[in-house]
Structure formats: C-alpha cells, structure tokens
Amino acid sequence: MKRKILGNLGEEIASEYLKNKGYKIICKNYRTRFGEIDLISEKDNEIIFIEVRTKSSSNLLLPEESITKKKIYNYKKLALEYLLSTQKKYKNIKFDFIGIEYKSENNFKINHIKNFID
C-alpha cells in the first residue's frame, strides 16, 4: 500500500477511534510553513493536537519510534500558530500521539499515547 494512502487510512481510523472516545474533531490536516498537524480535537474544554503515524506490519519500526526532537519542536510551533488563529480559549492544551500498526482492513492495532509532549 502506498505511503500516502496508508497515512490517510490511519488518520480515518484515528478519527473514528477518537470520536468513539468522546473527542470532537475540529480540524484535520492543519498546515502551515512549519508542517502539519494531523488532527485537532476538543474534549472537556481542552484542545488536543494529535499526531497520527501509521506503519504497515512489514515495517521494522513502531509508529512511535518515528517521532524526532525536530518534529516535536515544529509541532509546538504549529500548535501555537493554530491557537493564535482562533478566538476560542481552552483550559488546557495537550499533545497526543496515535500509532497504528496496520496489517489489513480489519486487522490493526492502535496505540494512543496521551500527553506525549510536555
């Protein structure tokens, strides 16, 4: 499966997973010059910026092993840009990570790491 198709599929799986957990998806694929935030959601008056990584079962690395310090640095800048562009105030800001190990259409594993960035 091509990387972009796999990535889009992972984001859809993550969106459904989050909705089932009571999250409201407010933005998908927020882009700026610093990169992209896959999903932005709200829950309990908190805003959660979510990085989604999907890897096929043939990949030797786990999805969470692909996050670098530079990616985290840019992710914080992306979040700040988004917050500055919105009028809404939130009681907390969180950064979550969802790793998906994809084997087949109905065979995948979700690893949701809450607050993966301090």
| pTM of the predicted model over 0.85 | yes
Give residue 10's pLDDT: 92
Helix (H, G, I), strand (E, B) or coil at 26: strand
Digit-coded pLDDT (tens) for 18-77: 999 999 999 999 998 889 999 999 999 899 999 999 888 666 667 777 788 888 888 899
Give residue 113's pLDDT: 93
Give residue 58's pLDDT: 66
Instruction: Give every CB contact of residue 111 below 8 A, 6+ residues apart in sequence.
Output: 62, 63, 64, 97, 98, 99, 100, 101
